[in-house]
Amino acid sequence: MTECNKIILLTATTLFPLASLCHGACVEVDSDTEAVANQGFKLGCISCKMRGEVPATAAVNWYFKASDDDEFSHLYSYEDLIGDVIDPRFYERLDWNGSKQTKDLQDGSIYILNVTYNDTGTYQCRFNRVLMYPNYEFQTNASKTIIINVVPRLTRGMASIFSEVMMYVSIIGLQFWLVVEMVYCYRKIAAAGEEALRESAAEYLAIASESKDNCAGVQVAE
């Protein structure tokens, strides 16, 4: 395999997962959990259909439990392409952000238009899905729970900051090490070159003196 083929193969294998994403493969991404006050926020909820080839219909219901509530209350429902805000605390503030123009929902996300501190709490989205096989129907349910924290502005987790710093440290460290190694190797090669020159000169001298010695020996023996 030539070097060029290897590179093409590598590119193909690294790009392949992206390509399959582009073709609508369903991936269950977790929702963000930190909402910023007075801004919009997407409550993500994705439930992939296990049997992609089987036609299905799904309804999505959202439930909300504020931080000082004891029980979940019905927040929002989406069925047959119609969304309905049920909780008066969220009137005029919720929009559907999930799968569009289909009853076969896999993305049940909703969007809060203007987040207030009172939106802090636990959200639950429930999928009720009916898989339609040729001779029968099969119901599956899925639910996800998301705990939302409302903050004045976006804070980054310590772990995220730490890993970014470590990334730069390791990149700079590796580059520095590479430069040091290159200088070291260059010097070593240069020194080896001089050494070789010196050695061959010394060898030449040694041969010369040896032959002189031999001559002396011969002279002594005489």
State the residues that interact with ligand NAG by CB under 6 A.
38, 95, 97, 111, 114, 116, 118, 128, 139, 141
- Rounded to a whole number of angstroms, the minimum distance from the CB of residue 74 to ligand NAG is 11
Look at residue 209 and give its three-state secondary structure: helix
Q: In the chain, what is the greatest distance between 2 CA atoms, to the nearest angstrom?
A: 126
Residue 180 tokens read as 């040091």
What 8-state DSSP symbol labels residue 207? H
Q: Which is closer to ligand NAG, CB of 138 or CB of 184?
A: 138
Q: Which is closer to ligand NAG, CB of 9 or CB of 27?
A: 27
Output phi, psi for 188, to 5 deg: -60, -45
- Rounded to a whole number of angstroms, the minimum distance from the CB of residue 97 to ligand NAG is 4
Q: Which is closer to ligand NAG, CB of 151 or CB of 190?
A: 151
Q: Which is closer to ligand NAG, CB of 34 or CB of 37?
A: 37
Taken in order 145, 150, 154, 155, is the CA torsion positive or negative?
negative
- Rounded to a whole number of angstroms, the minimum distance from the CB of residue 155 to ligand NAG is 20
- Rounded to a whole number of angstroms, the minimum distance from the CB of residue 146 to ligand NAG is 16
- Rounded to a whole number of angstroms, the minimum distance from the CB of residue 141 to ligand NAG is 4
Q: Which is closer to ligand NAG, CB of 97 or CB of 106?
A: 97
Sheet holding 121-132, edge to edge: 34-36, 137-151, 121-132, 56-66, 73-79, 82-85
Taken in order 118, 119, 124, 129, is the CA torsion positive or negative?
positive
